[in-house]
Amino acid sequence: MTEYTGFDKIYRDIVMEIIEQGTDQDPTLVRAKYADGTPAPTRFIQGVNFKITPADGIPILKSKRVFQKTPLVELEWIWQELSNDVTWLQDHKCKVWNEWVDENNTIGKAYGYQLAKKCRRLPNHDEKLNQVEYVLHQLENNPGSRRIMTSLWDVDDLDEMTLEPCVWATNWKVNNGVLDLHVKQRSADMALGNPFNVYQYAVLHRLIADQLDFELGTMHWCIDDAHVYDRHIDVLKNQLSQPVPASEPTLVLPAKIAENGSTRSFFERRLSDVKLENYENNGVFKYEIAE
């Protein structure tokens, strides 16, 4: 066991700042509730920024177990399936969206629906690309651009989403062959959601860098409202008081070259096929879900 380093230290510093110096939510403004119907107020700080460099290793917490498969199945559904149909997730034994489905078993015009929109036209081309196609094309053909972005926050569609996106934007930046990723998150449940999201996008960053032969750069993360729920505070203090394993996990990406020698596309190299090896952690800490 060892002291906190990398993302574990970044995460602990942010959470302890919230617990020790954060602002308690106005009780008249509390929307979320626990399963027993009790209001679930938060303690929060605003404008949190951090960065993960390659030297920090794989940003998956060792202070608690973060389930490896579920985050990647969900991100595959969003970034590779480009889907809003929760049936696909359920068929892959992922239940994270079951509470927010509509009468058609979708999440409305949220997440994958937005990335699938044919909304970006290249110069001198009539056909439009979806947001993911556009990012990949520009990274490969126009890497100096400062406009290689995705957005899930379409104001015209917000009322037709069963839940507005928490992680809502990415910005991809190349310099001297190094690929950086900027991620914007409007709201972060620090006990449950943020560790899940950081691991997701760290894997996506690595897969796209590998796909396009870039050196992995820095992942910059920006949170507007970073919060902990009142019933999470004591569990978080316990979790973050324990020393963590010294070993570092490693990530194995799906092969870029197929057995027949052809180069596989980003959409063929499935995120759920990524393997995390040597992941030692302090086990499961149970947090009540607030919705």
At 26, list the tokens: 């106005």
Quote the CA–CA distance of 109 and 124 in Å, as a whole number: 29
User: Which residue matches tokens 């015009």?
Assistant: 109
Annotated binding site for dUMP: 146-147, 186-189, 197, 227-229
Instruction: Name the residues annotated as catalytic.
Output: 166
Quote the CA–CA distance of 145 and 251 in Å, as a whole number: 29
Read out DSSP for the chain?
A: -B---HHHHHHHHHHHHHHHHPEEPPGGG---B-TTS-B--EEEEEEEEEEE-GGG-----SSS---SHHHHHHHHHHHTS---BHHHHHHTT--TTGGG--TTSB-BS-THHHHT---EE-TT-SSEE-HHHHHHHHHHH-TT-S--EEE---TTTGGGBSS--SEEEEEEEEETTEEEEEEEEEEEETTTHHHHHHHHHHHHHHHHHHHTTPEEEEEEEEEEEEEEEGGGHHHHHHHTTS-B-S---EEEPPPSB-TTSPBPPTTTS-GGG-EEES-------------
Closest CA to 172 of 213, 220, 120: 220
Annotated binding site: 146-147, 186-189, 197, 227-229, 290
At 201, list the tokens: 């996008």
